[in-house]
Amino acid sequence: MSTELLLPPLVPHASLAAVRRWPSEDARRWVQEFVHHAAEDPRLCAVVVYGSAVRDVSESSDVDLLYVYAGDEPAFDAPPLDVDVRGFHSETVDARVASGDEVLGWSLRFGIPLFQRDEYWADLQGRWAGRLPLPSAAAAEERAARALSVSAGLAAGGDEEAARELRLSTVTQQARARLIRRGVFPLSRPELPLQLGSVGEWELASELQALLSARDPSSEVEDR
């Protein structure tokens, strides 16, 4: 007798075809179950997939999800390491978008809803159409500085693999900051070198591309 796990059918408007590539079968199964349970929980307003998994890039090491909820935050099983999940209370969403929240801003531009109750996500996109602010370049620069400091400490301690991963995070945040200061919204990380080249940041583009090319895809989750 087959021992294959039987998953519930996908709910309407929750097609996983929006995800161009899955880092693992565990990731696909967890997301499918999460979307199914979201449809059954009246607190869940929307589940949106964002990041490189929904972009036309050669690889994606993880799947990024956000969910919006009303009332008490729902509990759910811990996701696999290659699924990153972030929750936002519906009462805070508009204020966070207005302040330049990078995850919400990216998702409203390029994310794809896997589930939405009463057209919640479509209405949110409509309210912010044509007036989404850029994220904070200063915040990206601060993240880059912190990652660089930790990377230096790891390298000094002999942990070269972890130091390289933090170096990639450093350059990723530097790239985002440069683009934002040029008035360009950063796309997913694999797309950043091309964006940097389009604004003349060739040296940083080359450094980021080299780090991406040398990276072990299984090492860490990515920054969108």
Residue 70 has pLDDT above 80, yes or no: yes
Per-residue pLDDT, averaged over 33-61, amounts to: 91
Q: Is residue 5 part of a domain?
A: no
- CA 75/CA 58 separation, integer angstroms: 33
Q: Are 169 and 147 in contact (CB under 8 A)?
A: yes
The structure's pTM equals 0.83
Domain count, the chain: 2
Q: Are 140 and 180 in contact (CB under 8 A)?
A: yes
Confidence at 223, pLDDT banded by 50, 70, 90: low
Range of the domain at 146: 137-214
Tens of pLDDT, residue by residue over 167-194, are 999 999 999 999 999 999 999 999 999 9
Residue where a domain stops, chosen among 128, 146, 181: 128
Q: Which two tokens mark 29?
A: 């199964």
List helix spans (H) across 99-191: 102-110, 120-128, 137-156, 160-181
Per-residue pLDDT, averaged over 117-129, amounts to: 97
What's residue 188's pLDDT? 93
Q: Which two tokens mark 25?
A: 């079968």
- CA 127/CA 98 separation, integer angstroms: 11
Which stretches does DSSP call E strand in the chain?
A: 44-50, 63-69, 83-89, 112-116
- CA 199/CA 187 separation, integer angstroms: 14
Residue where a domain stops, chosen among 128, 145, 162: 128
